[in-house]
Amino acid sequence: MQPTEPRASAPVLDHTYSEGFSGLAQHAKPDIPQGTRLAWLNESLAQELGLDLAWLRSEEGIAWMTGRGGAPTYALAYSGYQFGQLSPVLGDGRAHLIGELVLPLRGVSDRNTRVDLHLKGSGRTPFSRPGSDGKAPLSAAWREAVIGESLHALGVPTSRALAVFETGERVQRRAPEPEPAGLVLRVASSHLRVGTFQFAQYHCEPDVRAQLVDYALARHYPNLVEAETSGERALSLLRAVAQSQARLMASWQALGFVHGVLNTDNVALSGEAIDFGPCAFIDAFERDKVFSSIDRQGRYAYNHQPGITAWNLSRFAETLLDNIDPEEPNRAIHLATGVISEFEDEVVNLQIEAFAAKLGLELQGAGEDVRARVARFGQMTLGLLERHLLDFTGFFRSLTEGSCLLPAGERQAWLAQWEELKSAADVSPERAKELMLAHNPVYIPRNLALDAALRQVERGNQQPIEELLTAVSKPFERRDGLDYLEAAPAESRFFTSFCGT
């Protein structure tokens, strides 16, 4: 007889945050219907997490992923400025923290890291709003999966979906008829947010924020834990979060990505993209582009994202002032204001570098005059794209492949300036090509293509969404049969996104 392989067992989940900060989490049990089915498993992510694929697909594995494995589950508390208006109590109204999965750091024998497993669309919690069913449309769960995999493949720090489930329920949302309900199991470095500190400021004892600072540093920025005083650690955390948000913001801007709802409760201290339900990528370029149906004033438009992130970081700084210097409030304000100013400078510099790479320019070692010229050229280029409503992703990819989509009357002058910049930056043709190929994707989740695929999912056909996932998971490699994902029809300008998860 062939020996049978040992059956995998449920991985152990920690609850260091939920149990260590009881005022910031409440026990809550997911409402998972019988017959809930695994619709999609992110195999590459599961393998990165060291999880057994066959076991995850088993009844036991599905129960574990949906919070029915016997371990406690929690709903997290947080506050938030939503479209500029303070909501002192928000929290997970339709989501549950399943637990923290501990992972050994590669190449480091004595250190571990941990990620959160967070289930969305899983029923009501103590933080649910009146009238909420706590559920999510299946299309919203798939949308988060596709966008997360796209951002990850494009090099953007982001939360990712481990699995999508069909529950067999139907929910009433934006369409006249009920639509299929679903769940998404999200993996994130943590769910510590700016809103977490705001909730602690309004509802917890003062020492809780000092403990939160130490926890956040240990989890996300362990090299900063050894700062001598509590005030130094609080300032270090503010600076580290600001730097990580600057990197995230520059990467979004270089991709034409619009988050959609950059409230303070959607700003993760880890620097990952999170809660991007109504997001979208710009097709025909417009600086003030908004996609979210609820952002009627354009607060979170593409060109506002860096500024609104600075505003969100200022709200974070406010929660730390009495930790930074409890004796001298003016000194604390001065130090925190300096960090926000550093962010504003850093995000500009990182955006210049990101757009330079898209144009095949390398700025390492370049003088300030060259950087200034690249900045002006980048803004001029965006102005031309906007004037002619040119496709953002398509323009830079076409340029990478040797053609320029600008109208003939403006093309030659633009190309001449580009050549002058390449000469000033002293970049070889080979290196320029290498940079452009690595920073200008062929595939993004085109808004109308994604929306059409989601409508097919509602009808029980997963083939289009899985094809789209395949494309965006390797966005820089052109493949046969996917031409329809390389460009957007003119009507995509009028696309509107909705938040469902």
The catalytic site residues sit at: 265
Q: At what angle do helices 408-424 and 368-387 cross, to 10 degrees?
A: 160
Nearest CA to 186 out of 95, 93, 258, 271 is that of 95
Q: Which residue has the tokens 């709903």?
A: 75
Phi-psi region of 275 (alpha: psi -120 to 50; beta: other; left: phi over 0): left
Q: 160-171 and 37-41: which strand pairing?
A: antiparallel
Token pair 């962010």: residue: 343
Distance CA 146, CA 157 (A): 15
Distances (CA, A) of 212 to 27, 29, 81, 199, 205: 20, 25, 20, 11, 12
What Rg do the C-alpha atoms of the chain give, in angstroms? 23
| Phi, psi for residue 486 in degrees, rounded to 5 | -90, -15
- Write the DSSP assignment of 391-436 as a string of letters: BHHHHHHHHHTT---S-HHHHHHHHHHHHHHHHHTT--HHHHHHHH
Beta strands in 288-446 (DSSP E): none
**Structural contact between residues 10 and 58, judged by C-beta atoms closer than 8 angstroms:** no
d(CA 229, CA 133): 45
Query: What HEC string does 41-107 produce?
Result: ECHHHHHHCCCCHHHHHCHHHHHHHCCCCCCCCEEECCCEEECCEEECCCCCCCEEEEEEEEEECCC
Q: Using CA atoms, how far apart are residues 370 and 363, in angstroms rounded to an integer?
A: 8
What kind and span of H or E run contains 168?
Answer: strand 160-171
DSSP 468-496: HHHHHHSTTS--TT-GGGS---GGGGG--
Residue among 137, 80, 112, 119 at smallest CA distance from 16: 112
Exposed e or buried b per residue across 132-152, where buried means at least 16 C-beta atoms within 10 angstroms of its C-beta:
eebbbbbbbbbbbbbbbbbbb
